[in-house]
């Protein structure tokens, strides 16, 4: 069973060790907060490069890209060889958010969602 609609949050230790940080060439830094395994989706904070912010501002006029970070979503595809591993992780209720970043990606799409109004340097810990 895949547990549709499941939302996996990155643990405090993962955030502290930077295991939720993704460098996306030419697009900037992405700090992941949640993984939605059945949707192959990651939500988090995106710090776009200056060039990418200019380019995206044309397509997303309601978002102010000069105000980083931007809340964004990444939808990704898994390479064929790693699909079995990924679906086994989807079945595993004990799988951590970082486990879902281990299979190799074939491609991805990054979608900016909204400007962030809070100070992201303050880490919220829920134990």
pTM of the model: 0.83
Query: Sign of the C-alpha dihedral, residues 98, 100, 102, 106?
Result: negative
Residue from 59, 24, 62 nearest 44 by CA: 24
Rounded average pLDDT over 94-123: 81
Rounded average pLDDT over 26-48: 94
Encode pLDDT of 69-101 as tens digits: 999 999 999 999 999 989 899 888 899 999 999
CA distance 58 to 69: 18
Rounded average pLDDT over 96-121: 83
Q: Is the pLDDT of residue 1 over 80?
A: no
Provide CB contacts within 8 A for 86, sequence distance 6+: 37, 78, 100, 103
Q: Is the pLDDT of residue 2 over 60?
A: no
pLDDT score, position 127: 39
């Amino acid at each position: 069973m895949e547990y549709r609609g499941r939302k996996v949050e990155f643990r405090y230790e993962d955030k502290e060790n930077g295991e939720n940080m993704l460098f996306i060439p030419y697009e900037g830094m992405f700090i992941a907060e949640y993984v939605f395994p059945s949707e192959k989706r990651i939500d988090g904070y995106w710090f776009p490069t200056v060039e990418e912010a200019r380019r995206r501002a044309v397509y997303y006029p309601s978002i102010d890209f000069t105000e980083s970070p931007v809340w964004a979503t990444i939808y990704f595809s898994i390479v064929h060889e790693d699909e079995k591993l990924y679906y086994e992780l989807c079945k595993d209720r004990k799988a951590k958010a970082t486990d879902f970043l281990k299979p190799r990606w074939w491609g991805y799409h990054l979608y900016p969602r909204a400007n962030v109004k809070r100070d992201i340097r303050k880490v919220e810990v829920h134990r």
